[in-house]
């Protein structure tokens, strides 16, 4: 098959969930950009191991379901803090309460920065934000482990942390964020009332920082190679071009990566609208995944190859962004 060569104006995949009315952008308290960029070597992408990412997902799913306030979520937070800390990343918990359709609940985002020696100034930003949601959808009647949704993207971020740590200057330009409460507590996400709890809070707090990131990338459902990875249509245009360029370098085909047909509600939305942050949304085509949001979303649905593909693609995009600025 031919490498992926397409225009961002061409819509090649149908996605069944469209975005509702978006929040009005808010002006940050400061427009000061994050620090100057240092080129991230493209060769770092080759260090990304899909097998190691898969091992991380096995650990996460061993804790059981991870809905907000659950024991599985608490164990996942503790595991990520320990794992990232051993790699030289400092973490901070961003805890808050929010009114939900099932009553007031507590949520906790986990934020990580590479800084083995010095303390981290959490009130200032670094150039790039890479995000994944950590929670799984809340069910009472089934055991939902969410190996792909959201284990896959979480495993990719942890493996990225390991790879980036090999080059401290590269790692120092990235903030990793594990969002809580992406999933709706009822059936479907409502961008303002149910779901996206963690990213909405994070975006609001981002505006309070003394400097702002340059761009962000959100990953979701990235472990299944049987379905294409979609480039979100409401992503920043420049970031979409970077994703296409990186995909072409990797010789990915149109069966492996495509443009989404319409916007998809996910954690990138509050960062883009409330946080005024240029965002790239990369998500597996869940409309073609019969196990999506069912108890069949287990480790058998994902592969090291799928994790490797999405991890290396993300690393290449970061390399391109730092090389061109």
Query: Is 174 within a domain?
Result: yes
Structural domain containing residue 108: 42-324
First-to-last C-alpha distance (Å) of the chain: 33
Predicted pLDDT of residue 324: 79
Pairwise CA distance, residues 232 & 6, whole Å? 14
- Name the packing angle between helices 71-86 and 153-164 (round to 10°): 20
Total domain count, the chain = 1
Q: If you average pLDDT over residues 316-325, what whole number do you get?
A: 92
Query: Is 14 within a domain?
Result: no
**Taking all residues of the chain, what is their mean pLDDT, rounded to a whole number?**
91
Pairwise CA distance, residues 220 & 266, whole Å? 8
Q: Kindly tell me the burial class for residue 243, based on how many C-beta atoms sit within 10 Å of its own C-beta (0-12, 13-18, 19 or more).
A: buried
- Name the packing angle between helices 153-164 and 304-324 (round to 10°): 50
SS3 at position 90: strand
Query: Is 19 within a domain?
Result: no
Query: Is 320 within a domain?
Result: yes
Which CATH number characterizes residue 193's domain? 3.40.630.10
Residue 204 backbone class (left: φ over 0; alpha: ψ -120 to 50; beta: rest)? alpha
Query: Is 30 within a domain?
Result: no
Question: Around Cβ 95, how many Cβ atoms within 10 Å?
Answer: 13
Predicted pLDDT of residue 18: 36
Query: Is 1 within a domain?
Result: no
Q: Find out whether 113 and 120 touch, Cβ atoms under 8 Å.
A: yes
SS3 at position 114: strand
Pairwise CA distance, residues 172 & 184, whole Å? 33
Q: If you average pLDDT over residues 161-169, what whole number do you get?
A: 98
Pairwise CA distance, residues 255 & 229, whole Å? 9
pLDDT in tens, 61-119: 999 999 999 999 999 999 999 999 999 999 999 999 999 999 999 999 999 999 999 99
pTM value is 0.91
Q: What are phi and psi of 153, to 5 degrees?
A: -70, -35
Q: What are phi and psi of 283, to 5 degrees?
A: -145, 140
Query: Is 268 within a domain?
Result: yes
Query: Is 11 within a domain?
Result: no
């Amino acid at each position: 098959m031919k490498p992926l060569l397409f225009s961002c104006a061409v819509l090649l995949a149908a996605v069944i969930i469209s975005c509702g009315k978006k929040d009005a952008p808010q002006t940050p308290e400061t427009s000061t950009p994050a620090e100057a960029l240092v080129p991230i070597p493209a060769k770092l992408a080759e260090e990304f191991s899909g097998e190691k990412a898969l091992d991380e997902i096995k650990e996460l799913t061993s804790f059981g379901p991870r809905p907000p306030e659950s024991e599985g979520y608490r164990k996942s937070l503790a595991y990520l803090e320990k794992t990232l800390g051993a790699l030289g990343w400092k973490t901070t918990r961003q805890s808050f309460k929010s009114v939900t359709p099932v009553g007031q609940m507590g949520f906790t985002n986990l934020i990580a920065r590479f800084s083995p020696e010095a303390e981290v100034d959490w009130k200032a930003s670094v150039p790039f934000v890479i995000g994944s949601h950590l929670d799984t959808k809340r069910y009472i009647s089934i055991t939902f482990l969410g190996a792909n949704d959201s284990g896959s993207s979480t495993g990719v971020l942890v493996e990225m942390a390991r790879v980036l740590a090999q080059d401290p200057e590269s790692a120092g330009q990235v903030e990793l964020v594990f969002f809580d409460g992406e999933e709706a507590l009822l059936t479907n996400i409502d961008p303002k009332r149910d779901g996206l709890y963690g990213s909405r809070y994070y975006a609001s707090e981002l505006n309070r920082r003394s400097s702002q990131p340059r761009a962000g990338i959100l990953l979701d459902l990235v472990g299944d190679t049987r379905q294409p990875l979609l480039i979100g249509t409401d992503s920043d245009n420049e970031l979409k071009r970077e994703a296409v360029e990186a995909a072409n370098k990797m010789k990915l085909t149109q069966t492996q990566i495509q443009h989404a047909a319409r916007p998809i509600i996910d954690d990138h939305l509050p960062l883009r609208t409330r946080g005024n942050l240029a965002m790239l949304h990369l998500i597996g085509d869940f409309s073609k995944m019969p196990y999506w949001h069912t108890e069949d979303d287990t480790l058998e649905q994902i592969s090291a190859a799928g994790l490797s593909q999405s991890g290396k693609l993300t690393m290449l995009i970061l390399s391109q962004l730092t090389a061109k600025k």
